[in-house]
């Protein structure tokens, strides 16, 4: 199976490391020609995970996204949701025909429909759900770079193919888990980023660990209620058999809320300390998916109808200029 990667950030670089550490040659699309030239000459990504060095014989680098897609049997999409539509714009409608699509996107697309990637690909490129798979955590790119033991969950309605794909990424520092829940794992990734922004805001407002533990227990409950609504709405198979306490749901939520590697927590911490959204974004120089995700989820939930007072309050802080102190006073009232 020839695999290609679309994206040049830290998570895309970590996934490229996993594949090449297993000896797999990859096609890799990066937007910036200077970055491509640097990797060819110096063997590492100059902007993200620069400690990771690659065997150049295993890399075919290109700034032409259609070229990478055409050369591969499976395409890993690892572009922040805010930039994904522009990256795919203008591609031929049949370019993904016969390809396996592996999503590492942890956000909602910023279009009027607030779609997940599989919904967008089905509408615009006729990608069947059977050819769509997801890669979700808990797994920070920085720990992959340091080769600290991590776990990834590969989801797909074709579980046998999901297992086959997962084997390409399994290394001595990366264990893989497989399930069939593409809807729940994607929305869980969206929600955990929103809640991690909230955890960061709480830290910036100088709430302590006791509060944070209660906050996380409550957002875990809120997340499960939303995911159950999704399963009902999508009429997903075997919805009642999903273990929401497993690593891809609860585990990813915990690490994203607690870890110092979490860019969403870092972003939220700045908001809690009084930074504006714009200044926090400039200071970080990295994408915190929880910010756009909070808006996408808010509008998605207008039709879903789940009870999500904590996620809605974080949306109001980030998008409606609700003062963080006032927002968290209201969150205090709903915690149990």
Instruction: Walk me through the domains of the chain, giving residue ranges and CATH numbers.
Output: 3-180 (3.40.50.720), 184-334 (1.10.1040.10)
As a whole number of angstroms, the distance between CA 324 and CA 329 comes to 9
pLDDT at position 49 is 94
How high is the pLDDT of residue 236?
66
Q: What is the pLDDT of residue 308?
A: 96
Tally of CB atoms within 10 A around 130: 11
The mean of the pLDDT values for the chain is 93
**What is the distance between the alpha carbons of residues 153 and 137, in angstroms, rounded to a whole number?**
6
Residue 137 has pLDDT above 90, yes or no: no
Contact 187, 236 (CB under 8 A): no
Tokens of 136: 């979700």
Answering whether pTM is above 0.85, one says yes
Give residue-wise pLDDT tens across range 257-314.
998 889 999 999 999 999 999 999 888 877 788 999 999 999 999 988 999 999 999 9
| Neighbour-count burial of 285, counting CB atoms closer than 10 A to its CB (0-12 exposed, 13-18 middle, 19+ buried) | exposed
DSSP 99: P
Percent of the chain with pLDDT over 70: 98
| pLDDT band per the 50, 70, 90 thresholds, residue 239 | low
Q: CA end-to-end span of the chain, whole Å?
A: 49
User: Alpha-carbon distance 252 to 246, whole Å?
Assistant: 9
Q: Which two tokens stand for residue 95?
A: 């370019």
pLDDT at residue number 240 = 66
């Amino acid at each position: 199976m020839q695999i290609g990667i679309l994206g040049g950030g830290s998570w895309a670089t970590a996934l490229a490391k996993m594949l090449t550490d297993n000896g797999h040659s990859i096609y890799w699309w990066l937007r910036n020609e200077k970055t491509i030239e640097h990797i060819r000459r110096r063997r590492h990504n100059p902007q993200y995970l620069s400690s990771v060095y690659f065997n150049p014989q295993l890399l075919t680098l290109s700034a032409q996204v259609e070229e990478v897609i055409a050369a591969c049997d499976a395409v890993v999409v690892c572009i922040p949701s805010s930039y994904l539509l522009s990256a795919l714009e203008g591609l031929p409608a049949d370019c993904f025909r016969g390809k396996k699509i592996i999503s590492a996107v942890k956000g909602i697309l910023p279009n009027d429909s607030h779609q997940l990637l599989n919904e967008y690909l089905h509408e615009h490129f006729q990608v069947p759900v059977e050819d769509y798979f997801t890669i979700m955590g808990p797994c920070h790119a920085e720990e992959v770079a340091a080769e600290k033991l991590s776990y990834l969950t590969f989801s797909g309605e074709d579980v046998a193919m999901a297992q086959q794909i997962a084997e390409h990424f399994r290394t001595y520092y990366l264990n893989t888990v497989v399930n069939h829940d593409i809807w729940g794992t994607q929305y869980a990734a969206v929600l955990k980023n929103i809640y991690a922004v909230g955890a960061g805001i709480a830290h910036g407002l100088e709430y302590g660990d006791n509060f944070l533990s209660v906050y996380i227990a409550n957002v875990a409950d809120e997340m499960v209620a939303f995911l159950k609504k999704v399963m009902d709405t999508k009429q997903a198979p075997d919805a009642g058999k999903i273990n929401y306490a497993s690593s891809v749901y609860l585990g990813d939520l915990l690490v994203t809320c607690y870890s110092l590697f979490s860019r969403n927590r870092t972003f939220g911490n700045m908001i809690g300390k009084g930074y504006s959204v714009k200044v926090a974004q400039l200071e970080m120089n990295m994408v915190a998916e929880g910010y756009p995700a909070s808006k996408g989820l808010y509008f998605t939930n207008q039709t879903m109808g789940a009870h999500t007072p904590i996620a809605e309050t974080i949306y109001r802080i980030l998008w409606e200029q609700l003062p963080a102190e006032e927002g968290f006073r209201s969150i205090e009232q709903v915690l149990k």
